[in-house]
Amino acid sequence: MTDKRLTRKLPVKITAFCMAVLMVCIAVVSMVGIAVMMETGVYELSPTDAKINVMQNSQFHVAPQLALDVLSGSANRAQYTAERSNADFQILSAVDGSEVWSSRENFGDFAASTGLRFTYLYWQEAMGSNYLGTWTSYYDFGGSMADYLPTEDRQEGNYLINVAVDPTFPVTDNLSLLNVLFNILYSFRFGIYGILAASAALFIACLVFLMYGAGRRTVDEAIHASWVTRIPLDVLAAGITIAVSLMFVALNDMFYYSSGGAWVFTGVAILAAASILVGCCYTVAVRVKLRTLWRNTVIWRICAFIKRVWLFIWRGAKELAGGLPLIWKLVVGMLALALVEFIFIMATEYDLGVLVFFWFIEKLVLGAAGMCLALMLRRLQKGGQALAAGDLSYQVDTSRMLWDFKKHGEDLNSIALGMNRAVEERLKSERMKTELITNVSHDIKTPLTSIINYSDLICKENCDNEKIREYSAVLLRQSERLKKLIEDLVDASKASTGSIEVNLAPFELDVLLTQAMGEYEQKLSDCRLELITKRPENSVRIMADGRHMWRIFDNLMNNICKYAMPGTRVYLTVEERFGQAVVSFKNTSKYELDVSSDELMERFVRGDSSRSTEGSGLGLSIARSLTELQGGRLELTVDGDLFKAVLTFKEI
């Protein structure tokens, strides 16, 4: 639990994010360093030779650009002096080796004393400039051109650019910074692999930590979406790709011109790219947990829009076709077929007169046959629609039908007759059950009344025997319960069949609410239940029967007293909602409600599965029947131990 809370704390997430970004930067720098060292031969060459390669690559654009500026007369030669740069340059003619320009007078002596020296071949065309290639000679530098320059390159317009770098690096410039970086990389040329592995491992650990806690907070268990998560993923990816591409294009331009800010910009670019990478992983994890990775994209929305348009067109076409009568559908279909055939006939080279004649005769025959079939199908369609609408007295006219159409029409008529008989038998069975319940209940109530009366008399007799008094009290109590059960059974039977009398009149619900509060105040107090009521300021009036409304309230409040958990609150509210009067009863059950709300509405179903409490299981069924007889609706909601009953009536 502690680890789970730790992954949801914002400061911890920020720390993990920064660590992941830092590890990415270290890993990228390590990989770049390894690539540079492999390219410059650090692992194969001596330190001096490897450093020459590094310096040569750094001056690849600088030296030829200098030659171009010098030869065109536009160079600011002061910036290439020994006081301003760690590198000195000499431009020689490739024809005879004569010096064209040099950044210092004793360039040859200086070049001979340094080990960091290299040569470029520069070719100048009439229309511009180009670099044919790079010519290097680490040990023959300063010797005869014949030692290292091919004869075909010793022609007019070609120049040799000699570069010599001061190994002490007295001036702070790009070369001195490059020297420091080279020394650092060279000293870590083998340890950098361990740094790369450690940074990669730490990055993966931080990333897993962030992915686990992505979208979660300490307040709850839900996944929370941030403003970044609401941006479509493809739009976000496109924006990031464009931004990173522009950033590296600018970085490439800065290195091309050897800008001093290129190194700083490189670090910022790597840091920004690493932050974007970790941020993208984080938002993708949140989207996966929210299940919006694919849905929250512009592509998905376009596809969904195309699907909606297609469904709209398809449904419109179906409705249009469904709205046409069957005969007109057949006519339209035959006309379309005839048009296609007519176009085909006109395109052939046969005798058009004969073809058109037979085509016309064919259409007359097919049209007549199609009309007959359409009329028969139309009759069958009307019969099916009548049965679906509940008109069991409808009979399909099969007098002018043929073959299977007539048989199908007779089957529809037989279905209607069979369903009519089944409905009549069911109604008869319901009436018989109601009459049986009523008659049996009346027959039982006569001896039961005598039992109750004599039990009451026995209880009132002065008797010294405690057992007799106890037995007579139990007999009286159970007799009263049996009488209540019989009365509920009769009421449920009458209410469900609609044979009970209902006199609707304007009725004020808040008056009934006040009456219920007064009637059940003591009973609720005995059950250790606190009643909380809520009513609107204005009176709420409905059309109802006062006797039946009180019976509904009485049944629901009795259920609360029997099944509500002691020490809890009971909520009874009356409110208005969009022209309807709504009465709600809410309580917490003391029994585990392992049945659905629909099952609780059935007869003889009770909230306590052990049936240890008094009750018949008919209260809710009677309440629902009485509510429906008055034009209302009773709905039950069971949510864990929360029980809620809602009465809805049309407000006057």
Check residue 198 and give its pLDDT.
93
- Does residue 251 sit in the same domain as residue 365? no
One-letter amino acid at 536 equals P
146 DSSP 8-state letter:
G
- Does residue 586 sit in the same domain as residue 533? yes
What is the spatial order of strands in the sheet that 99-102 belongs to? 99-102, 87-93, 158-165, 116-125, 128-133
Tokens of 140: 């023959």
Counting residues of the chain whose pLDDT is more than 90, the rounded percentage is 1
- Does residue 179 sit in the same domain as residue 239? no
Flag whether 450 is in a domain: no
Greater confidence, 75 or 63? 63
- Does residue 514 sit in the same domain as residue 637? yes
- Select from 645, 482, 630 the least CA-distant residue to 556: 645
Which residues make Cβ contacts (< 8 Å) with residue 306, sequence separation at least 6? none
**Listed residues 387, 406, 430: the one ending a domain:** 387
| pLDDT above 50: residue 348 | yes
- Does residue 542 sit in the same domain as residue 581? yes
| pLDDT above 80: residue 63 | no
- Does residue 12 sit in the same domain as residue 66? no
Grade residue 541 by pLDDT with cuts at 50, 70 and 90: confident
Greater confidence, 587 or 150? 587
Check residue 540 and give its pLDDT.
84
For the segment 428-455, the average pLDDT, to the nearest whole number, is 69
| pLDDT above 70: residue 397 | yes
One-letter amino acid at 639 equals D
Residue-number span of the structural domain to which 540 is assigned: 505-650
Check residue 141 and give its pLDDT.
47
Check residue 201 and give its pLDDT.
92
Greater confidence, 541 or 397? 541
Which 3 state secondary structure label does DSSP give 650? strand
Counting residues of the chain whose pLDDT is more than 70, the rounded percentage is 75
Could you tell me which residues are beta bridge partners of residue 573? 534, 584
Flag whether 466 is in a domain: no
Flag whether 111 is in a domain: yes
In whole angstroms, how far apart are CA 254 and each of 138, 261, 387? 29, 8, 84
Grade residue 197 by pLDDT with cuts at 50, 70 and 90: very high
| pLDDT above 80: residue 276 | yes
**Listed residues 232, 267, 290: the one ending a domain:** 290
Check residue 324 and give its pLDDT.
56
Q: Are the CB atoms for 112 and 196 separated by under 8 Å?
A: no
Check residue 145 and give its pLDDT.
62
Helix axis angle for 174-187 and 10-39, nearest 10°, is: 100
Average pLDDT of the chain is: 76
Q: Are the CB atoms for 510 and 575 separated by under 8 Å?
A: no
- The strand ranges marked E within 416-479 are none
Check residue 479 and give its pLDDT.
77
Q: What is the pLDDT of residues 405-434, one digit of tens each?
A: 777 777 777 777 777 777 777 777 766 766
Q: What is the pLDDT of residues 221-257, one digit of tens each?
A: 778 777 788 888 888 888 878 877 776 666 555 444 4
Flag whether 498 is in a domain: no
Helix axis angle for 233-256 and 298-323, nearest 10°, is: 150
Q: What is the CATH number of the domain that holds 534?
A: 3.30.565.10
Q: Are the CB atoms for 393 and 416 separated by under 8 Å?
A: yes
Flag whether 401 is in a domain: no
Owner of token pair 């020994």: 82
Count of domains in the chain? Answer: 4
Owner of token pair 């429906």: 628
| pLDDT above 70: residue 495 | no
Q: Would you tell me how many other CB atoms lie within 10 Å of the CB of residue 78?
A: 9
Report the chain's C-alpha Rg in angstroms.
49
For the segment 382-403, the average pLDDT, to the nearest whole number, is 75
- Does residue 176 sit in the same domain as residue 121? yes
Could you tell me which residues are beta bridge partners of residue 160? 92, 121
Check residue 322 and give its pLDDT.
56
Least confident of 240-244, 263-267, 364-368, 458-462: 263-267
Q: What is the pLDDT of residues 81-140, one digit of tens each?
A: 666 778 888 888 878 878 888 888 888 788 878 878 777 777 665 434 444 444 444 334
One-letter amino acid at 599 equals E
Q: Provide DSSP, 37-71.
A: HHHTTTTTS-HHHHHHHHHHHHTTTHHHHHHHHHH
Check residue 609 and give its pLDDT.
46
**Listed residues 185, 213, 242: the one ending a domain:** 185
- Does residue 173 sit in the same domain as residue 199? no
Grade residue 469 by pLDDT with cuts at 50, 70 and 90: confident
- Does residue 142 sit in the same domain as residue 261? no
- Does residue 511 sit in the same domain as residue 556? yes
Q: Are the CB atoms for 291 and 299 separated by under 8 Å?
A: no
- Select from 223, 216, 236 the least CA-distant residue to 279: 236
Owner of token pair 């001093």: 260
- Does residue 512 sit in the same domain as residue 377? no
For the segment 183-206, the average pLDDT, to the nearest whole number, is 88
543 DSSP 8-state letter:
E
One-letter amino acid at 397 equals D
Check residue 77 and give its pLDDT.
64
Flag whether 169 is in a domain: yes
| pLDDT above 50: residue 1 | no
- Does residue 223 sit in the same domain as residue 267? yes
Flag whether 420 is in a domain: no
Flag whether 49 is in a domain: no
Q: Are the CB atoms for 510 and 539 separated by under 8 Å?
A: yes
Which residues make Cβ contacts (< 8 Å) with residue 412, sequence separation at least 6? 380, 383, 384, 387, 396
Q: What is the pLDDT of residues 2-32, one digit of tens each?
A: 455 677 777 888 888 889 888 988 888 888 8
409 DSSP 8-state letter:
H
- How far apart CA 352 and CA 47 sit, in angstroms, is 97
Check residue 263 and give its pLDDT.
63
- How far apart CA 162 and CA 574 sit, in angstroms, is 99
153 DSSP 8-state letter:
G
- How far apart CA 604 and CA 556 sit, in angstroms, is 15
What region, left, alpha or beta, does residue 232 occupy, with left being phi > 0 and alpha being psi -120 to 50 degrees? beta
